Structure 1
């Protein structure tokens, strides 16, 4: 393992982190303004909408890279609004399955155009088609490398000392 990052690595790292922060801020504001959603709530709805079957809470937690307790809280908020439903799995009584409702699909449809506009304007308008392909390839490789580790749901739960 290296003791330091070289200047190009440092520049890439800080540019990535700053870009992500700026994009996340704008996206979060748009989602809140257009649909009263947090980013993780949007991500939950989008992942559920993109699946042809309900997902377990564990699958959702791994997919959205969010803590189990945080996801449970966010799912509870979405359920109270009627945007998702949760139920015990018919295959594994220990598992909870989550499904998007029609109301959830409607909310997602309401925020999606503004979301696309923000991402297009802030991220993709500054890049050529070639740059976008290169960025997609680079970030996919980095993500796949990070995802090669065991999912967070496989990690043992930490118990608090009383």
Structure 2
């Protein structure tokens, strides 16, 4: 049996959960205000952009920590808005790819500065540079432990497939 958590260790876990929920709420509010879509849908567009424009639905669900049915609903909403399309995977008629459309890329470009400003105000300005770097390293280690890989940090102009900001 492992030793019990001390109060700081327990508080760390509770704060991570709390901060995650607060950030998601703030991101959703800002995204809806600037795009009319939910943050969960915006995140689909970001993941597609980061993957070079398209990705298998099963892999996308894993990257989003989403269930396949929840992802299918979000992608269907994005399809209705002409921001994403679903296509059969080449050589695998049972596989489905989600693909960002030109309109989806344009939406990402249009809201880039607003998202940048929201991220800066919510997560960067309250911290010193050394706190930002230490938090980045610590959360990266947790992400690697829980997900098996570190994600994030791909600037729009550095995304695979030459997708502009």
**Shift, 1:63, TM fit:** 0.8
**Secondary structure in 2 matching 1:94:** strand
Supply the distance in 2 between the matched residues of 1:20 and 1:73 (Cα, whole angstroms).
23
Supply the distance in 2 between the matched residues of 1:85 and 1:21 (Cα, whole angstroms).
29
TM superposition score normalised by structure 1: 0.85
Supply the distance in 1 between the matched residues of 2:91 and 2:33 (Cα, whole angstroms).
39
- In structure 1, the gaps of 5 or more residues are 150-162
**Higher Rg:** 1
Supply the distance in 2 between the matched residues of 1:133 and 1:88 (Cα, whole angstroms).
41
State how 1:33-48 maps to structure 2 within 5 Å: 33-48=33-48
Supply the distance in 1 between the matched residues of 2:82 and 2:103 (Cα, whole angstroms).
6
TM superposition score normalised by structure 2: 0.84
**Shift, 1:75, TM fit:** 0.5
Supply the distance in 2 between the matched residues of 1:135 and 1:38 (Cα, whole angstroms).
27
Deviation digits for residues 44-89 of structure 1 (CA, Å, limit 9, x no counterpart) = 1011112225211011101111110000011111011110111111
Matched residue pairs, number?
149
Determine the structure 1 residue equivalent to 2:12: 12
Determine the structure 1 residue equivalent to 2:119: 119
- In structure 2, the gaps of 5 or more residues are 150-165
